[in-house]
Amino acid sequence: MTDAKKELEVGRKFFSTECTFMLGVADLKQLPITNIPEIALTGRSNVGKSRLVNALTGRKAIARTSVTPGRTQQLNFFNLGNRLLIVDLPGYGYANAPKPEVAAWTQLVRQYLVGRAQLRRVCMLVDIRHGLKDNDRKIMKELDQAAVSYQIVLTKADKISPIQREKAAEKVLKEANKHVAAHPKIVTTSSVKGLGISELRADLSQLAINH
Ligand code: GDP
């Protein structure tokens, strides 16, 4: 078996354990005290974050899809066999979100991102059809400044052709490479078709295992 195949197999096994919802955090004081490694997912609203969490963990509806903005203002922690915590961060860029809610979101998420020692990586989800937008860039800049390592994960790849996918990925990668805290590799996924899910599992399990 090649090293890449071995890593895929390790990822498959790692993610085959039961994943359970642990808690929703609306205030920093509620953050769980653990030393389990964490990865966090963020992205613009409707990017496909809930579906990706479901696809990664192999559960049908562990993360609710398309909930209304008011109900998504918390950090949702999922526990994968006490070996990895997956943190579903609130989406950003809601067209209709009330301003105070957005401000509270920003505060809570920022404080979590800069202060969490066990956070191994942030997966920044980007809809492959839309590419990077200014609100993504703003967050990337902040992560650069806080030296929080992040990886861009392209979503909904099934919506465009393989050639368009490659072009879109290349464009995003070119820009990501200019950011100091961005991972040099991006992953193209489709939660609907299962594309890129094994690769992402492999990458994320390596982060948890090699800590
Ligand atoms: P969230 O707001 O980022 O959590 O996004 P959701 O996971 O709720 O997805 C938003 C919408 O995009 C829903 O209608 C999903 O069914 C759809 N969606 C999510 N992932 C994919 C995908 O990989 N392919 C396609 N075609 N649709 C997707």
pLDDT at 107: 85
**Once rounded to an integer, what is the mean pLDDT over residues 43-61?**
90
Kindly state the percentage of the chain with pLDDT values over 90: 73
Residue 48 Cβ contacting ligand 1 at under 6 Å: yes
More confident residue, 107 or 23: 23
d(CA 21, CA 78): 4
Q: Which of 44, 66, 75, 200 to mutate to test the pocket of ligand 1 (most atoms within 8 A of CB)?
A: 66
Residue 46 Cβ contacting ligand 1 at under 6 Å: yes
Which residue's C-alpha comes closest to atom 27 of ligand 1?
Answer: 156
Which residue's C-alpha comes closest to atom 17 of ligand 1?
Answer: 48
The predicted model scores a pTM of 0.92
Residue 174, CB half-sphere, CA atoms under 13 Å: how many? 7
Given a cut of 90, whether residue 73 has pLDDT beyond it is: no
Given a cut of 60, whether residue 10 has pLDDT beyond it is: yes
Question: pLDDT (tens digit, 9 = 90+) per residue, 149-185?
Answer: 999 999 999 999 999 999 999 999 999 999 999 999 9
- The residue whose two tokens read 């808690």 is 23
Task: Evaluate the CA torsion angle 89, 140, 36, 30 in order and state its sign.
Answer: negative
Mean pLDDT for all residues in the chain: 90
d(CA 199, CA 76): 23
Number of CB atoms found within 10 A of residue 2's CB: 7
Question: pLDDT (tens digit, 9 = 90+) per residue, 126-151?
Answer: 999 999 999 899 899 989 999 999 99
Most distant CA pair in the chain: distance in Å? Answer: 53
pLDDT at 2: 87
Which residue's C-alpha comes closest to atom 2 of ligand 1?
Answer: 46
Three-state SS for 156?
A: coil
The CA 208 to ligand 1 mean position distance, Å, reads 26
pLDDT at 147: 93
- Nearest-atom number in ligand 1 for the CA of 193 is 23
pLDDT at 93: 80
Q: What is the DSSP letter of 28?
A: G
What is the phi-psi region of residue 30: left when phi exceeds 0, alpha when psi lies from -120 to 50, beta otherwise?
A: alpha
The CA 175 to ligand 1 mean position distance, Å, reads 24
